[in-house]
Structure 1
Amino acid sequence: MSGFSPFYCFPKSAALLALALLLTGTSPAQSTSARLVPFRQGTKWGYADQRRRLVLPLRFDEAGPFVQELAWVRIGPLYGYIDGGGNPVTPVQFTKASTFSRNRATVELNGETFQIDGTGQRLTTPPEPEPETEFLTQGDLTRQNGKVGFRFTVGQAVVPNVYDEILENYNGLLFVRQGTKWGVLNNKGKVTLPLEYDTIKAIETNNFAYPVVEQQGKFGYLAEDGTLLVAPKYQAAEPFVADVARVTTADGRSGYIDTRGREYFD
């Protein structure tokens, strides 16, 4: 449920009851919500610290990552937002809700879709255009006999012309393809991940961090050095947002992992 993706839709009902449940009880103060990770135990969700210790209690039916000190939560079929202390920022009233991005989130209420700010107020102005991104080039592609290689600008590393496709990525990594299989090279031209993977996907919105890798229908993640952070084992894997990523296990259970590959679900 990271970024604007899973945008769940449910029939609106029991809004007042959901809000009452959300307001029930007190939560410990927490100013470092960015370090909290959605934690699922059984069918209930709360938030844990980086040692997997429960900080906000298991009282939600689903929970999203903290971005800009705010996170969406679901009680029954409806959504609302909380702060790092578990305090409500909005009522639990939305039939759709997204993770905050660029100080705004998209919600649906009474069949109408609009955006709100960090206080829950409706926004009437469109978002500012995304700043232009200037990609740093590590070197130049070389071509010979229909094959592609790479010559790094810094250092003496040269990748021979043996690949069908080469893509640059963050941290000096190259994604390389031979036939239908992908692998990874570092900025010295050394293989860090063999050409055994069906896809490798990096997303600009999270600065291309921790790309998703696919192998035989299972998904995992790359670490910053181009090796595997998590070997492909998940049924589904979403891009990282605020240092956490939502995954679905082979038996259909959903939860989050952090940038060390630790799982926050039982």
Structure 2
Amino acid sequence: MLGENQPDVSEPSASPEATAQAVPDQRAAAEPPPARPVSAPPAAPVSGAPVSAVPVSAVPVSAAPVSAVPVSALPVSAAPVSAAPAGSSAALDAEPPAANAAEPVSAPPAAPVPAPPAPSVPGPAASPVSAPPAASVSAPPAGPVSAPPAGPVSAPPDRPVSAPPAAFVSAPPAEQVSAPPAASVSAPPAASVSAPPAEQVSAPPAASVSAPPAGPVSAPPAGPGRVEQGDPEQVLAAYRWQLDPATLREIVEEPDELRTVRRRLTEKLGTAVDNRARARLLSLRAVVSRILGELDDALADARLALTYAEATGELRRIALAQARLAHVLRWRGEFTEADQLFARATSPELPDRLRAALHEHAGRSCFDQGRYMEACQHFEQALDLRGSGDPDLLARVRLALDAVAERVATAGFGPYPRSRDEVLERIQPPVPVRDGGLWGYTDPDGDLVVPARYADAQPFAEGLAWVRRPQTERWSLIALTGTTVIEPSFLAVRAFSEGLAWVVRDGAEGWLAIDPTGNVVIPPGFADVRPFRRGVAAVRREGWGAVDRTGRIVVPTRYHSFRTPLADGRHVDGFTDEGLAVVELAGRHGVVDHTGAMLVPPVHPTLVIHPVAFLVGTGAGRWGALDRRGNPLIDPVHRSAEDLLEEIERLLTDANPVL
């Protein structure tokens, strides 16, 4: 398993600091140095403006003697959170990132060192309250915890704390989180939560408090308390796994902690109210059960999670559920279905980080089967996508290649790599070939299987191909064997897609859609059409719009174009795999989805679909980004789309997909 978190993919994520210090696939243990306690005479109450989603007034606290208080994160809800406002550097991956998990660390007693009194700062009227020195303050430390410096002391990110409170205080995670497309925003009951501001807000005391240099503090190992108190999704995302160099499977060091995580996931499932949450929680529970070796439970959860994910229609959520199910099947030795799921999950419209994880795990499946050349191909593709910017991935692939080399030395490289069609067990159809002045079809071995007797021929699609005989101007339909399915009937034809084909019987009536038997499904009346994708097709009457498979207009036919540019430079006629399309009206561009919902009004001179955002260009040549709901995400200040892509990649560095 990858220390995923790719990912409303909603996926928990581990912090970049933790990732940077952890040995790949091995749980990082923070060893903060101890701090010498500092005592200070009582000071006037200081109030700090909290920066959490739900405003909380800080109680004035007199500066009581302070030990190096343990700092642990109480993770917030794992439900998707809306993206930060314009200009924020919120992370853009789909699944919620995890807070950095660190156990409370208490410093040994030391002689108090006097500090100068702090000048009073006005605050709300309240009697000063002494904070017990042993109380722990919740905040997500990014790594080793050091004692207060000699200068002003800042509170943990996102929530200022004046002094250790008498009870646990929850704080939002330090990492920014972006919402998945169309994901609902969940929050504590009766309150909606918006993303925290981009910049961190610190609440130092009114005057600086001097302290002696901090000494080393050793943190105790993570125990059940962290798992019991923490959010299960974020705790799971914070794990760093050690791989068995012989099997490339995760090594379980503390199974009891994982069982606690699974129990907490089950508790959250009891309150999950939508398909998105159920898909996420069930698939994460499948991950835990798989690692614990309880493969029957893992398989049941993973299959049900995929059902819920497919009901959402969200590409990344479906890809994650497919990958987690594939991983369970791999451990069960059911490699055919596992490889097919990995192949179907991979899409160029997914974020590079998730695509790299999919190739890495597909490579491990090939490794288990003795397909070492194919495994190396997958590992190479993972490195091509993320190798230069992901040292953890680089280390895991290096370990995997060492395991491949050891196996190859004794067993050889195994079978030649399979094509995607071979993995998916698709029947490779005959291909058109010209013989003299006529067209026929040959099989993959080059043998002529359909005689050359046609004046024109189109490639096979969904087992059917359009052909035209020399003696007629009308097209007929044939099957793979060359038998005629529909007699010559149509003046113009388009290939079958999702069981429907656009054809023209009479130039005056326009395009209509038929099924493979020739029955009319969508009546004529369109001047131009595009293939069906995800149940909808772009069509043109007086303008461009879209229809569903019944012919119902889902996007009004009023736009001047319906062509969708992607961030990798490709263009799609109509809708993407994610069900999004860029529409243009009077030179301005917007975005609609396959249900007809207008996500971005057509007001932007330039608009490009990115796996986690919408890139928008201004008339002045500046580039910014919108989230999947069309809200501002990055201000249009970048001089080029390439600069904007680098900024988005930087914001994504704290999210890894949990597979």
| TM-score bucket (shorter structure) | 0.5 to 0.7
Deviation of residue 175 (structure 1)?
A: 1.0
Give 1:222 shift.
Answer: 1.5
1:39 aligns with 2:407: no
Letter in 1 for 2:616: T
**Is this contact kept in 2: 1:200–1:211, CA < 8 A?**
yes
SS in 2 for 1:211: strand
Q: Which consecutive unaligned segments of at least 5 residues does structure 2 have?
A: 1-5, 7-16, 22-29, 31-70, 91-175, 180-184, 186-191, 201-232, 241-350, 358-381, 405-416, 427-461, 463-496, 565-571, 636-659
Map 1:157-172; keep pairs closer than 5 Å: 157-163=521-527, 165-172=528-535
* Alignment correspondent of 2:601: 231
CA distance in 2, matches of 1:177, 1:231: 20
8 Å contact 1:144–1:161 — kept in the other structure? Answer: no
Task: State the identity as a percent.
Answer: 13
Q: 2:614 aligns with which of 221, 246, 251?
A: 246
Question: 1:173, 1:185 within 8 Å by CA — same for their partners in 2?
Answer: yes
Q: Runs of 5+ in structure 1 lacking a partner? A: 4-15, 60-82, 90-96
- 1:197 corresponds, among 538, 549, 560, to 560
Instruction: Name the SS of the counterpart of 1:39 in structure 2.
Output: coil
Amino acid at match of 2:593: A
CA contact (8 A) 2:83 2:633 kept: yes
Spell out the pairing of 1:70-149 with structure 2 (5 A cutoff): 98-101=352-355, 103=357, 104=382, 106-107=385-386, 109=388, 121-122=396-397, 130=420, 135-145=497-507, 148-149=510-511
Asked if structure 1 preserves the Cα contact closer than 8 Å seen for 2:512 and 2:520, the reply is no
| Cα root mean square deviation, aligned | 5.1
Residue 177 of structure 2: SS of its match in structure 1?
A: strand
Of 33, 45, 54, the match for 2:195: 54
Are 2:544 and 2:562, in contact at CA under 8 Å, matched by a contact in 1? yes
Deviations 1:115-145 (A, max 9, x none): 87758634669x9854568652234423422
1:160 deviates by 1.6
1:94 matched residue in structure 2: none
Residue 101 of structure 1: SS of its match in structure 2? helix
- Per-residue CA distance 1:15-64 (angstroms, 9 max, x = gap): x9xx79xx9x987647848x3565355364432453662269647xxxxx
SS of match in other structure, 1:207: coil
CA positional deviation for 1:189:
2.5
DSSP 3-state at the match of 1:100: helix
Q: Deviations over 1:146-202 (max 9, x none)?
A: 874123449964332541x311233432212369x5322233334332142223335
Task: Find the counterpart in structure 2 of residue 66 from structure 1.
Answer: none
The residue identity in structure 2 corresponding to 1:121 is: R
What amino acid does structure 2 have at the position aligned with 1:186?
Answer: D
Q: 1:210, CA displacement in angstroms?
A: 1.5
- Structure richer in strand, relative to its length: 1
1:218 and 2:588 correspond:
yes
Structure with a larger share of its residues in helix? 2
- Counterpart of 1:182? 544
Cα distance between partner residues in 1 of 2:557 and 2:574: 24
8 A contact 1:197–1:214 mirrored in 2? yes
Tell me if the contact between 1:209 and 1:240 (Cα under 8 Å) persists in the aligned partners: no
Aligned AA (2:177) = Y
Whether the 8 Å CA contact 1:220–1:233 is kept in 2: the answer is yes
TM-score, reference length from structure 2: 0.25
Contact 1:41 1:58 in 2 (8 A): no
Alignment length, in residue pairs?
208
TM-score (norm 1): 0.52
